[in-house]
C-alpha cells in the first residue's frame, strides 16, 4: 500500500484500489478453483460472478475499503489454487502453502484454507503434509520472530488483543 500510495500520491486511494482489485482477483481464483476441482468453464464463470456479486452486495463496506482483509484473501486464494493444481499433479505443495502462510501476515484471521490444505495432505499425502507442516510452521515462527524484532512486544499485544463478538450482530 505504501509503495502504490507513493506512486499515486495518496495512500488511502492506493489501499482502496488494492481492495477493489483483490475482489476481482478472488473472483478469478474462485473460477480457477472450480476448474481445478473438475468444473467446466461455464460453472467457473458463474461461480466467479456469484462471488463478486455477493460480496459487492452484502459486504459493500469491505469492497474498496483501505483495509488488508481482501488483499490477504486474494493472496490466500492464489496460494490455495496453487495447492489444488500442485496436488492434482502430485507435485510439491510447499510453495502454495508458504504463500498461504505469508497471507496470514497480511491479515491474521484467515486460517481455514491453509488448515484445510494441510489436513487434506495429512490424510492423503502424509509425507508431503508433514514436510509442508514443518516448513510452513518454521516459516511462521520465523515471521513472528521478525515481527518481534521489528515491533517488539506490542506486536503480540495487538495480535492477541481481545475482540468483541456478538451473536445478535451475526444473526442480523
Question: Which tens digit of pLDDT belongs to each residue from 139-148?
Answer: 999 999 999 9
Residue 157 banded pLDDT, cuts 50, 70, 90? confident
pTM, 2 dp: 0.86
Render pLDDT for 115-130 as a digit per residue (tens, 0 to 9): 999 999 999 999 999 9
CA distances from 50 to 40, 62, 125, 157 (A): 15, 17, 32, 38
**Residue 72 and residue 107 in contact, taking contact as beta carbons nearer than 8 Å:** yes
Residue tagged 484454507 (cell numbers): 113
CA pseudo-torsion sign 130, 145, 16, 62: positive
Amino acid at each position: 500500500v505504501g509503495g502504490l500510495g507513493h506512486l499515486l500520491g495518496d495512500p488511502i486511494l492506493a489501499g482502496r484500489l488494492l481492495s477493489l482489485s483483490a475482489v476481482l482477483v478472488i473472483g478469478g481464483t474462485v473460477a480457477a478453483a472450480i476448474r481445478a476441482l473438475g468444473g467446466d468453464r461455464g460453472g467457473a464463470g458463474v461461480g466467479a460472478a456469484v462471488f463478486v456479486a455477493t460480496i459487492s452486495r452484502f459486504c459493500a463496506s469491505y469492497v474498496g475499503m483501505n483495509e488488508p482483509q481482501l488483499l490477504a484473501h486474494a493472496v490466500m486464494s492464489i496460494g490455495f489454487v496453487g495447492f489444488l493444481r500442485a496436488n492434482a499433479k502430485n507435485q510439491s505443495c510447499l510453495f502454495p502453502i508458504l504463500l498461504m502462510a505469508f497471507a496470514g501476515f497480511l491479515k491474521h484471521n484467515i486460517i481455514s484454507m491453509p488448515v484445510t490444505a494441510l489436513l487434506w495432505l495429512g490424510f492423503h499425502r502424509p509425507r508431503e503434509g508433514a514436510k509442508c507442516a514443518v516448513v510452513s510452521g518454521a516459516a511462521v515462527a520465523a515471521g513472528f520472530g521478525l515481527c518481534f524484532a521489528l515491533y517488539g512486544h506490542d506486536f503480540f499485544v495487538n495480535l492477541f488483543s481481545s475482540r468483541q463478538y456478538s451473536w445478535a450482530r451475526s444473526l442480523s
